[in-house]
């Protein structure tokens, strides 16, 4: 059985994951509006991954016999700037989520909640991958610079991302 402090922290993370999905869906819509269909695809796939992360927290809470508390989700921004700026914001957001997951793991260790510690290991690995992907795309966008042709190459590459 989970302690109350852990239930609250897991619910907070569940809601953060839902916000992440909402944020990436807004970014996808922004890219679609700008005609960057590859970027739109990448963010739409990311949206789906964040929903899956939220579902993992949801299922874990249910399996542990804990209550699930869904909060109102803050409206995400609707304007994001150029692709490089978007991916720098994406990286910053993923770094925030990484810190949040690490804080959860630290709480699980303090609470001697071994099941939750094991559950969170998957998310730790996932966050390493998320940040690496964002850094790779940022590097490519910096190489492309102001060159429209370079941006279209990156857009085409991101359009191939499947789920």
pTM confidence score:
0.94
- When pLDDT is averaged across residues 151-163 and rounded to a whole number, the result is 89
Segment (H or E) for 112 = none
Binned at pLDDT 50, 70 and 90, residue 148 comes out as confident
Quote the number of domains for the chain: 1
* Cα–Cα distance, 112 to 129 (Å, whole number): 27
Summarised one tens digit per residue, pLDDT across range 85-118 is: 999 999 999 999 999 999 999 999 999 999 999 9
In a domain, 152, yes or no: yes
* Cα–Cα distance, 143 to 84 (Å, whole number): 11
In a domain, 56, yes or no: yes
* Cα–Cα distance, 155 to 39 (Å, whole number): 6
Angle between helices 114-144 and 148-158 (to 10 degrees): 150
Q: Torsions phi, psi of 134, nearest 5?
A: -65, -45
* Cα–Cα distance, 20 to 50 (Å, whole number): 6
Confidence (pLDDT) at 20: 98
- Per the CB < 8 A criterion, the answer to whether 78 and 26 are in contact is yes
Q: What would the two tokens of residue 121 be?
A: 């290991």
Summarised one tens digit per residue, pLDDT across range 4-60 is: 999 999 999 999 999 999 999 999 999 999 999 999 999 999 999 999 999 999 999
Q: What is the DSSP letter of 64?
A: T
Confidence (pLDDT) at 89: 97
Give the domain range for residue 20: 4-158
Binned at pLDDT 50, 70 and 90, residue 163 comes out as low
- Tokens 């510690």 map to which residue? 117
CATH of the domain at 107: 1.20.1260.10
In a domain, 163, yes or no: no
């Amino acid at each position: 059985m989970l302690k109350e402090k852990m239930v609250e922290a897991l619910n907070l993370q569940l809601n953060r994951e839902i916000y992440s999905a909402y944020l990436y869906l807004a970014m996808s819509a922004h890219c679609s509006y700008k005609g960057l269909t590859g970027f739109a695809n990448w963010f739409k796939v990311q949206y789906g991954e964040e929903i899956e992360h939220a579902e993992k927290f949801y299922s874990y809470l249910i399996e542990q016999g804990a209550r699930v508390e869904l909060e109102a989700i803050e409206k995400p921004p609707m304007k994001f700037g150029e692709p490089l700026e978007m991916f720098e914001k994406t990286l910053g957001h993923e770094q925030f989520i990484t810190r949040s997951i690490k804080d959860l793991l630290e709480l699980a260790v303090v609470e001697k909640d071994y099941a939750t510690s094991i559950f969170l290991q998957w998310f730790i690995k996932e966050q390493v991958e998320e940040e690496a992907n964002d850094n790779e795309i940022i590097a490519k966008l910096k190489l492309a610079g102001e060159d429209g042709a370079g941006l279209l190459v990156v857009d085409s590459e991101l359009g191939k991302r499947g789920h």
